[in-house]
């Protein structure tokens, strides 16, 4: 799965791991917002890397495995952040994620017979430093978003977006280059 090769989405070992993570996520989402230290502790145990103690992920938060997610320093994600991390998801320092943002790494065949076999593959997502992802953005598998970039609310990111720009729309297109 992590090598980007076809794998069975109904593999017993994977399903067991997904179930265990769902229990952790349920505990996280059930904590009162005032339990910041306990929330941080859960995130540090769940995620593959946490840049510092200043990260915040508002509840509810959803992910598949957690351990494939790496977030940098001073990371902030708003409500309903969803990450399907069948492949690595790497997010840099000083990134801000709006509400209802989804990051997907899992890929499925467009051929219905192959899709129904439950075989899939995954492609990593990488987000640079100083990135702002607006509300209700969807980021598709295999995408890289450069440093100092803003993705406008409601966008669907289907391909790489360079450093130092603003991209919006469905599919997201660069509308402005920044002088940084």
Distance in Å from the first CA to the final CA of the chain: 37
26 part of the active site: no
Strand 150-151 vs strand 132-133: parallel, antiparallel, or unpaired?
parallel
Among residues 26, 49, 108, 177, the one annotated as catalytic is 108
Euclidean distance between CA atoms 19 and 55, whole angstroms: 25
Euclidean distance between CA atoms 59 and 42, whole angstroms: 12
Q: CA dist 35 to 39, 41, 62, 71, 81, Å?
A: 6, 10, 18, 20, 19
Residue 39, judged by CB atoms within 10 A of its CB (0-12, 13-18, 19+), counts as buried
Instruction: Classify the C-alpha dihedral 134-123-91-101 as positive or negative.
Output: positive
Euclidean distance between CA atoms 129 and 145, whole angstroms: 9
Phi/psi of residue 80, each to 5°? 60, 40
Residues with catalytic roles? 108
């Amino acid at each position: 799965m992590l090598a980007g090769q076809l794998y069975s989405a109904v593999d017993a070992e994977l399903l067991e791991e997904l179930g265990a993570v769902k229990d952790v996520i349920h505990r996280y989402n059930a904590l009162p917002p005032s339990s910041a230290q306990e929330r941080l502790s859960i995130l540090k145990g769940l995620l593959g890397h946490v840049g510092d103690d200043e990260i915040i992920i508002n509840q509810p938060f959803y992910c598949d495995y957690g351990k494939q997610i790496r977030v940098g320093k001073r990371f902030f994600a708003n409500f309903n952040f969803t990450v399907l991390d069948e492949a690595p998801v790497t997010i840099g320092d000083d990134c801000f994620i709006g509400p209802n943002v989804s990051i997907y790494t899992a890929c499925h065949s467009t051929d219905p017979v192959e899709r129904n076999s439950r075989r899939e593959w995954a492609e990593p997502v990488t987000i640079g430093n100083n990135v702002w992802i607006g509300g209700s953005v969807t980021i598709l598998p295999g995408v890289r978003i450069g440093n100092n970039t803003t993705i406008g609310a409601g966008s669907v990111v289907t391909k790489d977006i360079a450093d130092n720009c603003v991209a919006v729309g469905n599919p997201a297109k660069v509308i402005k280059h920044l002088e940084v």
